[in-house]
Amino acid sequence: MESLIPTWQVSVLGGVLAWIVVSSMFNVTRIIRSLTQPWVSSCVISGIPIILHIQKYQHTLFDALFSGLSCLVSVPFYTGFLPLLFWSGHGKLARQMTLLMAVCDYAGNCVKDVVSAPRPKSVRIVTATADEKDFAMEYGLPSSHTLNTVCLSGYLFHYILSYNENSDASFQLVGFAFVCIFVGLIGLGRIYLGMHSVIDIIGGLFLGLAILEFWLCVHEHVDKFVVSGQNVTSFWAALSFLSLFAYPTPELPTPSFEYHTAFTGVALGIVTGVQQTYDHFHHEHVPRVFTPQLPLAAFAGRILVGIPTILLVKFCSKALAKWILPITANALGISITSSGYVPALTSSSMVKKSNEVKQSNGYLQKMMFFSNQDSFDVDTGIRLLQYAGLAWSVVDLVPSIFSQLNL
């Protein structure tokens, strides 16, 4: 008789839980930080002359070019682009890039907060958008933009080649050269904008290559599990929950934890929705854009219907989570605070305590069933559910509406 819960799922979740316990007991984060932070910080300082030399070539054209490229490969851009990719009929590519993005975001932010290395100082910073100012609040190593560009452009190139088996060597060479140039421009741009040092770019490059190599080995297995596996939703929900508590504590509070929480919610929503509706909306034979079955006008109609719908779902998911989570916590006798989402739980003292709860006590102390803390920040759960609801609507609710409207 087949087991209700596959052994490998128990092993994965047990391994993550064991890592949380061991990491807390032996202060793994502090040990790694003590070994890496001094060296990385010295590399950042020694690399400042290189940044200043590159910035000598300042020009408004370069400002616009590199700021635009940075926006093009940022997490907010991908968050807006990926729904369009799902609705265009390229479901497999969209879900693979979403999950890969979640892995990149989590791994990159973990390394940032473990090492807690500063960004370069005493250099001119070009910030074209509010997002850049938020990114500047994070630690430097590795460069998330470089990391994401290596992984996503590399995977896209692999995907194109795998679906175009008759491509000749010249096509492959041109494609590879384009990816390399694009990655190089992103890295150079981050240095030019004063957002990263050379060591940050190198770290992002090598970490991105490692993640990409790993993903190319497992992506088919992951996709098969998502679309037709056993206990998909429950396993992914448990993994998402544990990943919140496995996240390392930075030296000082940063927004990195909030960013990863949001995209972890996105991955959870995508997996849940695809697993439930794969045979209806996400199989390999669905209509694709620029074909007679899905002309450009119909795709434009999907966008006009889909975007307002997912924004409404995001708003409703947040409102529902703000109502349900505090009630659930109170029913369980768990003391909670809010750093902004729930005004009734917010005060200056509560916000200060919330920051301490989230950022100052290590892996194990984040887990309510092991913690001696007085209260927990409910905003983390709200953010996770908010983005999970948004992502679920992209692959489940909105395609259902498309079906009803014959789009």
Q: Which residues are catalytic?
A: 145, 196
What are the distances in angstroms from CA 379 to CA 183, 257, 264, 267, 384? 35, 12, 14, 18, 9
Which pair of tokens denotes residue 328? Answer: 């659930």
Print burial letters for 117-145: b (CB count within 10 Å at least 16), e (below 16): bbbbeebeebbeeeebeebeebbbbbbbb
- Distance between CA 85 and CA 66 in Å, rounded? 25
Query: In the structure, how many helices (H) and strands (E) does the chain have?
Result: 16, 2
Q: How far apart are the C-alpha atoms of 11 and 262, rounded to whole Å?
A: 26
Q: Read off the tokens for 271.
A: 């997996």
Helix (H, G, I), strand (E, B) or coil at 51: helix
What is the C-alpha to C-alpha distance for residues 250 and 238, in angstroms, rounded to an integer? 24
Of 267, 215, 219, 218, whose CA–CA distance to 241 is shortest?
267
